[in-house]
Amino acid sequence: MKTYSTAPDNERVKKIVCNICGSALYVEYLRIDSARFVKCSGCGLVYQNPQPVFDDLKRRYSEEYFNYEITNEKNFFNLMRLGLKDIDFINLTSNIKKINNTFLDIGCATGMLLESMRKADWEVKGVEICEASAEYGRREKKLDIYTGTLEQANYGNDAFSVIHFSHLIEHLNDPGRFLREVYRILKADGYAVITTPNVDGFQARILREKWRSAIPDHLYLFSKKTLHSLLKLTGFNILKTVTWGGAAKGIVPGFIKYPVDKMAKSFGFGDVVLFLASKGQSSA
């Protein structure tokens, strides 16, 4: 089953160049009902071209999108917790938490992860473009959530010890600009935790246009290689990379899914990739 996506509605579009290497050369990679993905001839980045302009794109994150997020918040929260467990988040952050316990979740949806982090004694803030989701988090969970983009929030330099964003970067028109802003507001000894679909994963390679993450809302489809390149280009050190999800539920029997999922995690061809990055430590 495809991930939820909002169908484009009379949106303006524009042609763009590669967000990593700046090349205007590409080959067609995937074509779905309302979007075309191309692959950069220079660095291999897969992205929508043309892309909807931001002022029109942001209308997709409406009340209908909030209903999707509130319906699935527990499932999304559990997946994020598993990702943090994979990087041993509690031990990883034990020292910096004693000095500065500031945690920012970008694309925080209804705020379930933020609520959990607050209970674990983190000082939390969130950023969410869906107004209804942000308002729900503020009203029901008493969270500090900014409605808008990260750049619009205009946080100060070196403001956060941990910056987390899960299944967000693929939705952005300019992920390079976004990562430079993350870098600016991240403390020198802090961590960035990034999760996104993996276009080089087993599912993506086999399913192609039917892959669940090949949807209009995803403007970029990163691989481990291309996201690594963009993170390095914007100044980050890569500390750890993990993937998970080898076979989509319902496509193969359970007795096959379990070993395929295990191999995907062990050998790095999972459906989703998580990067742990820093701007103050040597890469591993």
Model confidence over 39-60: pLDDT tens digits?
A: 999 999 999 999 999 999 999 9
Beta bridge partners of 186: 160
pLDDT along the chain (284 residues), means of 10: 85 97 98 95 98 96 96 96 96 92 98 98 98 98 98 98 98 98 96 98 94 97 98 97 82 68 81 94 46
88: left (phi > 0), else alpha (psi -120 to 50), else beta? Answer: left
pLDDT confidence of residue 8: 87
* 155: three-class secondary structure by DSSP: coil
Contact by Cβ (8 Å): 184, 213: no
Give the single-character DSSP code of 236: P
Is the pTM of the predicted complex or chain greater than 0.85? yes
Predicted confidence at residue 281, as pLDDT, reads: 55
**CA 245/CA 260 separation, integer angstroms:** 8
Using CA atoms, how far apart are residues 224 and 199, in angstroms rounded to an integer?
A: 8
Provide the residue type at 208 as one letter: R
SS in 3 state form for 4-44? Answer: CCCCCCCCCEECCCCCCCCCCCEEEEEEECCEEEEEECCCC
Residue with tokens 């942001």: 58
Residue 150, pLDDT score:
98
- Between CA 187 and CA 192 the distance in angstroms is 10
What architecture (CATH level 2) is domain 71-278? 3-Layer(aba) Sandwich (3.40)
